[in-house]
Chain A
Amino acid sequence: MFDDFLARYAYWLTTVLMVIGLYGMLGKRNLMKKLIGMNIFQSAIILFFIAGSVKEGATVPIIQGGHHEAIDVAAYANPLPHVLMLTAIVVSVAITGVALAFLIAMYKRHGSLEEPTILGDMQ
């Protein structure tokens, strides 16, 4: 049981992070904390992709010389998941930016980022 946990510690870690993020997004009353939860959640997914594509003893996927020789697949890390995560980081930065803009607009109007206060203010 414990060995199983140790062998997959990266996945356990990302799962815990994901749950923390999800709790932050859904359970917290403060909108800023919701946004932080969202960022934790997205980082967890990025770590999950990276953890899933680990290869023991592999190196950077830069292939020396011509590409006609057969390539030892085990010797190079797969670049695709990493590239995908770069895109995912860009997406998450964009979302965070838009969310922060909303938060600023809300704070200017209501003077608070606590959800109950804002909802009370709107009534």
Chain B
Amino acid sequence: MVPLLGAFLASVLGWYRAKLAYTVTLASVGFSLAASVTVLVDVLRNGDVQYRLGGWAPPIGIEVAIDPLSAFVAVVVTAVALIVLVPSRQLMANELPAGGGGPYASVVLLLMAGLTGIIITGDLFNLFVFLEIASLAAYALVAVGGGKATVSGFRYLILGTIGGSFYLLGVGLIYFMTGTLNMADAARLLPEVQNTTTIVAAVVLITTGLGLKMALFPLHQWLPDAYAYAPSAVSALIAPIVTKVYAYALIRMYLSVFPPSYITDVLPISTVLVILGMTGIVFGSVMAFAQQDIRRMLAYSSISQLAFIALGIGLANSLALIGAVLHIMNHAVMKACLFLAVGSIRRQAGTASIPQLAGLGRRMPLTMGAFTVGALSMIGVPPSSGFFSKWYLIQGGIDASNWAAVAVILISSLLTAVYFFKVLEKIYFGIPEHSQNEAVNEAPAILVIPTWVFAIAMVALGVVNAFVVSGILDKAIGPNWGI
């Protein structure tokens, strides 16, 4: 609740003092991070936190409910956003019209307010409002790039609005059947009416709506263009966290609104998610391999990684779900690192086309080093964090006796290796055609340091993952969830 207030306050400040805008952004996101960490510690020690907005008791008033899962996601999102925002001024400088800093900063803060709101809210309709705040900010940020970015931003807006509207319809159906919008209250009342067509329609609408927002295959069409044409600082901010938060909203729906038996027994939603997840993983990897633009490649790889999360939800057991939530964190860190590295490449070399990256490994050793660590983590090389989320997903697959899923996860590592090695090979061993990359220098420290923070975080999170799982996620999900 505190991060929200801070974000809104700072966005107002950002309008009036454009010069201070970036500082204000950093300060308020930093404040959000501090608040999230405090709340996480508090939740882990004393149990769930509930806060009644306006002092009304939950079924009537809007409630903010924070359990270990939401606190954990809040910490991940604010931490990643904070580090990405540090170099955003340098990255945006070339891509914004003069005087664009103030509005840019305030839109970023609106995005953060929307995302933290989605994470902490305990109210179905409130979630819709925050969903639209975050999405609107994201559309605007994508379109800042101008030209192609505006077109892809408009597409994103149309599809995102369909997603949001579907979600709202689903919430309406739930409200008509149960008479409540509070998540905990709805979860209490839903089992009585769970076999009616209305609730079945509600579950399907909400799943489709959030699936569209999180770019779940085959609802991903908006994503590659949006990520590829947005300014570098924006794709580094949006790619790691926005779709992850929508994925979290989907987990939240299944975990604490609908009865657990619902997605496994009453409706074949988990089966659908598993099949879509498996198709999406393979499709995303294959498409990533076919791309010539490194940003499009990363975007398709995002689709494939989001499919991992969907697969983890669909397998519907604790281990797979832990894998999915862990993957939310790991993928956020990995994608932030990779997109920041690409941002540095674009800034220094002025290109994002893979064939033109030849020889940059020697010109920008630090940036490319971080990119390599990110790539290795995406593939899932053991000491890095990417390995462990896949490890849990595979265990979940074995638990659910779903051998096809296990096979797809293993094959996907291979596919990921193929498309990343294509880039790494160009970077380190490619011979530049002309002397085009001779004059390229290493990116300034303000870009290199955040990129390396993520690179080191990947390895560190891999090392401490046992603590993260036993200390936070076990409490968040519980050992006996699902089947």
Binding site for B on A (CB under 8 A): 22, 25, 31, 34-35, 38, 41-42, 45, 48-49, 52-53, 80-81, 84, 87-88, 91, 94-95, 98-99, 102-103, 105-106, 109, 118-119, 122
A106 / chain B contacts, CB cutoff of 8 Å: 150-151, 154
Q: Which of B157, B168, B172, B181 contacts A98 (CB 8 A)?
A: B157
B165 / chain A contacts, CB cutoff of 8 Å: 41-42, 45
- In the assembly, what is the distance between CA of A2 and CA of B147, in Å? 52
Q: What is the distance, in angstroms, from A50's C-beta to the closest C-beta of chain B?
A: 10
- In the assembly, what is the distance between CA of A44 and CA of B147, in Å? 32
A-B contact pairs, 24 of them (CB 8 A): A22-B162, A25-B158, A25-B162, A31-B154, A34-B158, A41-B161, A41-B162, A42-B165, A45-B169, A52-B172, A80-B181, A81-B172, A84-B125, A84-B181, A87-B125, A87-B129, A94-B136, A95-B132, A95-B157, A99-B158, A106-B150, A106-B154, A118-B151, A122-B148
B161 / chain A contacts, CB cutoff of 8 Å: 25, 38, 41-42, 95
Q: What is the distance, in angstroms, from A73's C-beta to the closest C-beta of chain B?
A: 11
- In the assembly, what is the distance between CA of A71 and CA of B93, in Å? 61
* Chain B 75-113 interface 0/1 with A at a Cβ cutoff of 8 Å (1 = within): 000000000000000000000000000000000000000
Ranked nearest first, the 5 interchain pairs of A and B with the lowest CB-CB distance are A102-B154, A91-B132, A105-B150, A52-B176, A49-B172
Q: Which of A53, A98, A119 contacts B139 (CB 8 A)?
A: A98
The size class of the interface chain B forms with chain A is: 20 to 34
* Chain B 244-277 interface 0/1 with A at a Cβ cutoff of 8 Å (1 = within): 0000000000000000000000000000000000
Q: What is the distance, in angstroms, from A87's C-beta to the closest C-beta of chain B?
A: 6
Q: What is the distance, in angstroms, from B18's C-beta to the closest C-beta of chain A?
A: 19
Main secondary structure of the interface of A (DSSP, over half): helix
Q: What residue of chain B has the Cβ atom nearest to residue A113's Cβ?
A: B154
* Chain B 132-168 interface 0/1 with A at a Cβ cutoff of 8 Å (1 = within): 1000100110010011101101100110011011001
Q: What residue of chain B has the Cβ atom nearest to residue A25's Cβ?
A: B158
Q: Which of B125, B147, B169, B181 contacts A109 (CB 8 A)?
A: B147
A103 / chain B contacts, CB cutoff of 8 Å: 154
Q: What is the distance, in angstroms, from A86's C-beta to the closest C-beta of chain B?
A: 11
* Residue B428 at the chain A interface, CB threshold 8 Å: no
| A84-B125, A94-B132 given; A102·B158 CB < 8 A | no
**A-B contact sample (18 more), CB < 8 A, given A25-B161, A25-B162, A95-B132:** A35-B158, A41-B165, A42-B165, A45-B169, A49-B172, A53-B176, A80-B181, A84-B181, A88-B168, A91-B132, A98-B139, A99-B154, A99-B157, A102-B143, A102-B154, A105-B146, A106-B154, A109-B146
Q: Are A102 and B150 in contact (CB under 8 A)?
A: yes
| A91-B129, A94-B136, A98-B139 given; A45·B172 CB < 8 A | yes
